[in-house]
Amino acid sequence: MELRIACIPGDGIGPEIIAEARKVLDKTADIYGHKIHYTDVLLGGASIDVHGVPLTEEAIHTIRQSAAVLMGSIGGDAAVSPWYRLAPQLRPEAGLLALRKALDLFANLRPAILYEELADACPLKENIIGGGFDIMIIRELTGGLYFGERKTETENGVRKALDTLVYDEKEIRRVAVKAFDIAMKRRRKVTSVDKANVLDSSRLWRAVTEEVAKDYPEVVLEHMLVDNCAMQLVRNPAQFDVILTENMFGDILSDEASMVTGSIGMLASASLNDSRFGLYEPSHGSAPDIAGQDIANPIATVLSAAMMLRYSFDLDREADSIEDAVKTVLKDGFRTGDIISADKTQVGCSRMGDLLAERIACKI
């Protein structure tokens, strides 16, 4: 099979972690008899430095010629980077928002998995984490507060800001369908998170989700208010299978879930549209303070590449092989600095990529 992948190395540690993900992908392709065609694309600060804008129309066109996008990370240190002295629409993150909108990437998938080997890195007590947990957070990505009308004005000498939260039933229905489809392949439970006791948008969210649930009688649906969900994630994370929620709530809850796993450097993500096309990236940021030092953790990017094989190319065996390689490396005691613990062997970014690639094995 020929795989056409657009690569966005991005900023900070992005080029380093993408290089290791490609190393693992190339080994996987070699073992399973695939051929990968990569096309590098500029986004974020890297694009600003060359083109003066965080995303060009040419970049969007190039990405659309590929079947999937593998991205490192974008952005820099807002306190010192000249990128953040530009107008908001010209800053690195604006390019990512524009790309999500242009490609209609409406569903963001963020798995939060506590690996047995990293249980000691989890900040929760042992009696809470029990046998570990495996949560899939599905966040609506192109609507809601982040994309609504906004303005700041002065009225009667007083500054006033307005942000608008809007959802229509089509936007809600399509991400709910995605959540229920994924739940059918997991433990068949969806927790829909909202603020229906206050917000009209949440009351519509809840109503539409219940309509979708009727088509999935095998899946258990429960509703949970967002403040309760934030509490339950640290009280009993194992109760969750698939969490479905809107844009801003998902942004916050997925970061909380990432930290109860022990390290954000371990967490992958996927952003999907109605086709098999997706953008795959680690959940962490660009970490400019450690860029170029070969100490970044590439595992989240490698696991994002595994998600890409699974969701955009329907290559489940290949994805399983990469995920198994990650588990094997951890069992063998290798760690990057962010997840190091006593009696383990610390390695750098490049060496971790080598170790993962060495452990890719064909699954029959």
| Active-site annotation, residues | 146, 195, 227, 251, 255
DSSP secondary structure letters along 37-96 = EEEE---THHHHHHHSSS--HHHHHHHHTSSEEEEEE----TTT-GGGGS-GGGSHHHHH
Residue 37, strand partner residues: 4
Asked if 202 contacts 235 with a C-beta cutoff of 8 angstroms, the reply is no
Of 247, 13, 24, the residue nearest 146 (C-alpha): 247
Task: Look up residue 199 and give its two tokens.
Answer: 């917000």
Dist. CA 93–CA 306, nearest whole Å:
24
**H helices of 126-168, where?**
126-129
Dist. CA 105–CA 160, nearest whole Å:
32
Dist. CA 364–CA 352, nearest whole Å:
25
User: Using alpha carbons only, what angle is made at residue 39 by residues 36 and 44, rounded to the nearest 5 degrees?
Assistant: 135
Q: Which residue has the tokens 């060009």?
A: 56
Q: Which residue has the tokens 């947990």?
A: 133
Dist. CA 135–CA 57, nearest whole Å:
36
Of 334, 363, 318, the residue nearest 25 (C-alpha): 318
Residue 189, strand partner residues: 220
Q: CA separation (Å) from 76 to 7, 80, 301?
A: 19, 8, 18
Dist. CA 132–CA 116, nearest whole Å:
7
